[in-house]
Structure formats: C-alpha cells, structure tokens
Amino acid sequence: MVWNNGPLIVYHGTDSLSGSNIRMNSIQASRFNPMSDFGAGFYVTTSLHQAKNWANERVRTIGGRGSAEVLEYSLARSAVDRLEHLAFVTDTQDYHELVAFCWGGGLKHNRMSPYDAIYGPVSLWPQALVIANCDQICFSNPSAVQDATGIGQFGNPVRTIRSFPNTYF
C-alpha cells in the first residue's frame, strides 16, 4: 500500500442518547468531563476496538440505558496538523505527570490556554499503567479541527456503528 496522506480515521465510543445528541447538536464543550487523562475534551481513538470498549463502559456507567454506539470521523490531516498539540508516543514520566495533573483537577494543561489536541496512550488511572495497543486523542477545542472541505467537521460523523438495542458490543 502506498502512503497518500489521506484522512485520519478516528472513533468516539458513547451511548445511543449521547450519540444522537452529538449528531443533532454537534459537540458541546459543556459536556466535557475534566476528570480525564488529558483533561476536558472530546476523546477519540484510532482503534475501533478501544472505541467499542469505551461505548460499553459508557452504557454501564449510565445504568445500562440505551445501547453502545461508536461515531466514526474522518479528519483531514492538514486540519489536525494546524492545531497546537502535544503527543506522547509512550508512557513516559512526563506523560504520567500530565495525567496526574489532569485527574487531580488541573486546568488548561497548566498553560494560559489548553492544547487544542493531545495524543497518547490510555492510562489505567490512578495506577501508573497504560492499556497496551490503545491510544487516545483529546480535542479540547473541537471546532479548531474543522476545515473548509467538511472533512474533519466534528458533530458530523461519517458513520455510526451501533450495537443491538439495549446491548453492548
């Protein structure tokens, strides 16, 4: 296969009610959970398997109402490249310090304004461990990803993957 710098395919695991809300109203920063690995933001992964796990966990968290759902997005790499970002390839001490800072309630990545995007492993907080072969991207400013072509416009997933009603993946 030849590299063509095509779009980056990412997935967001959620429940059916939240998925419907995202499709109808786009992504709303007011719904971001600040107590997460990289702080408040819209979290996606390049792993469909990981997104399904997140969706299942979300449905369990809300008491099993609804069904698990994964939203697929196609992001123009040029739109992502323009973002002010931070990337962790492995779980270094620096990575664990940022995760502890964010889970501890730290805001804006200890800067005047937060990074637009942070990429890195998925932690098993509060342990200093990560999930093997899983990644996450936190977009603290999803509107910054939008570009004129329509590729990468959050709130408009290119595909929705659903489990059967009232079930998990």
Across 157-162, average pLDDT? 81
Residue 140 lies in a domain: yes
Residue 83 lies in a domain: yes
Q: How many domains does the chain have?
A: 1
Give 143 or 90, the one with higher predicted confidence.
90
Q: What is the pLDDT of residues 75-116, one digit of tens each?
A: 888 888 888 999 999 999 999 999 999 999 998 999 989 999
Residue 126 lies in a domain: yes
Residue 168 lies in a domain: no
Residue 51 lies in a domain: yes
pLDDT at 150 over 60: no
pLDDT at 154 over 90: no
> Structural domain of residue 120, as residue ranges?
8-162
Q: What is the pLDDT of residues 25-62, one digit of tens each?
A: 888 888 999 999 999 999 999 999 999 999 999 999 98
Residue 68 lies in a domain: yes
Give the pLDDT band (50/70/90) at residue 155.
Answer: low
Residue 97 lies in a domain: yes
How high is the pLDDT of residue 82? 85
DSSP the chain: ------PEEEEEEEEHHHHHHHHHH---GGG--SSSTTSSSEEEBS-HHHHHHHHHHHHHHTTT-S-EEEEEEEE-HHHHHTS-EEE-SS--HHHHHHHHHHHTT--GGGSSS--SEEEEEEE-TTSS-EEEEEEEEEESSGGGG--TTSTT-TT--SEEEE-STT---
Residue 2 lies in a domain: no
How high is the pLDDT of residue 24? 87
